[in-house]
Amino acid sequence: MEHTRLFSDGEPIRSEIKISERSTTSFVVLLLIFWIFIFLIGYLVGSRTEEPLNDVTVVQYDPYINYDNVSSVPICRVESWNNKTTKSFPFYDLYRYFADKKVTGSEGLSDGQLRLLTAFLYDEYIVITHTAQNPKGVGKGVYCFYYDCNRNELPGTRFLSFVFPMTAVHCPRREGAQYVSLGFEKEFPPKEEPIPFLNRMFEYPPHEIGVCVGQIYGDEKKWLEIIEYVEHHKLMGATMFYFTILEMDGYTKRTIEDYQRLGQIEATFVNIEYEKINWLFHMIQVHECFFRSKFHSKWVIGIDIDERLVMTKVPLLSFLNQQDPNTCEVNFGIRRIQKNYNDPEKYTSTNETRSSLSFYRNNLTTTHRWGAFKSLFQPAKTHAIHFHWTIRQHEGCRVKTAKRQEGYIRHYRTTASSSLAGSWISIFKPYNITQMDPEFSKKLEERVIRKVEYLYKLHPVFCESIDEKIRIHFPKDLHCVNSTVIL
Q: What is the pLDDT along the chain (487 residues), one digit of tens a residue?
A: 444 443 344 455 455 545 556 666 776 677 677 777 776 766 665 555 555 555 677 776 667 666 565 555 689 999 999 999 999 999 999 999 999 998 886 777 778 888 999 999 999 999 999 999 888 899 999 999 999 999 999 999 999 999 999 999 999 999 999 999 999 999 999 999 999 999 999 999 999 999 999 999 988 899 999 999 999 999 999 999 999 999 999 999 999 999 999 999 999 999 988 888 888 888 999 999 999 999 999 999 999 999 999 999 999 999 999 999 999 999 999 999 998 888 999 999 999 999 999 999 999 999 998 888 999 999 999 999 988 889 999 999 999 999 999 999 999 988 765 666 666 676 777 889 999 999 999 999 999 999 999 999 998 899 889 998 998 889 888 888 888 765 5
| Cα torsion angle, 258, 259, 263, 267, sign | negative
Distance CA 56, CA 297 (A): 57
Q: What pLDDT digit, counting tens, does each position of 326-384 carry?
A: 999 999 999 999 988 889 999 999 999 999 999 999 999 999 988 889 999 999 999 99
- The residues, ordered by sequence, that sit 6+ positions from 153 with a Cβ below 8 Å of its Cβ are 145, 146, 147, 189
The whole-number pLDDT of residue 172 equals 98
**For residue 363, what pLDDT is reported?**
92
- Write out the DSSP string of 325-343: TTEEEEEEEEEEEEE-SPP
DSSP one-letter code for 294? T
Q: Structurally, what CATH architecture does the domain formed by 207-457 represent? A: Alpha-Beta Complex (3.90)
pLDDT in tens, 252-269: 999 999 999 999 999 999
Roughly how many angstroms between the first and final C-alpha of the chain, as a whole number?
84
Query: CB under 8 Å to 420, separation ≥6 — which residues?
Result: 279
Helical pair 250-261 and 438-456, crossing angle rounded to 10 deg = 110
Q: Which residues contact 257 (CB under 8 A, 6 or more apart)?
A: none
Among residues 63, 112, 256, 95, the alpha carbon closest in space to that of 162 is found at 95
Q: Which element (helix H / strand E) includes 16? A: helix 2-47
The domain limits of the chain are 80-199, 207-457
What is the Cα–Cα distance from 181 to 184, expressed in whole angstroms?
A: 11
Q: Which of 269, 265, 250 is nearest to 131 (CA)?
A: 269
pTM (2 decimals)?
Answer: 0.84
pLDDT value of residue 385:
93
CA 252 to chain CA centroid, Å, is 12
H/E stretch holding 242 reads strand 240-245
Cα dihedral 390, 393, 396, 397 sign: negative
What pLDDT is recorded for position 326? Answer: 96
- Per-residue pLDDT at 112: 81
Strand-pair partners of 308:
410
Kind plus residue range of the DSSP H or E element containing 7: helix 2-47
Residue 17: Cβ-neighbour burial (10 angstroms; 0-12, 13-18, 19+): exposed
DSSP 1: -
DSSP for residue 163 = B
- Classify domain 80-199 by CATH architecture: Sandwich (2.60)
- For residue 387, what pLDDT is reported? 81
416 backbone dihedrals φ, ψ, rounded to 5°: -65, 145
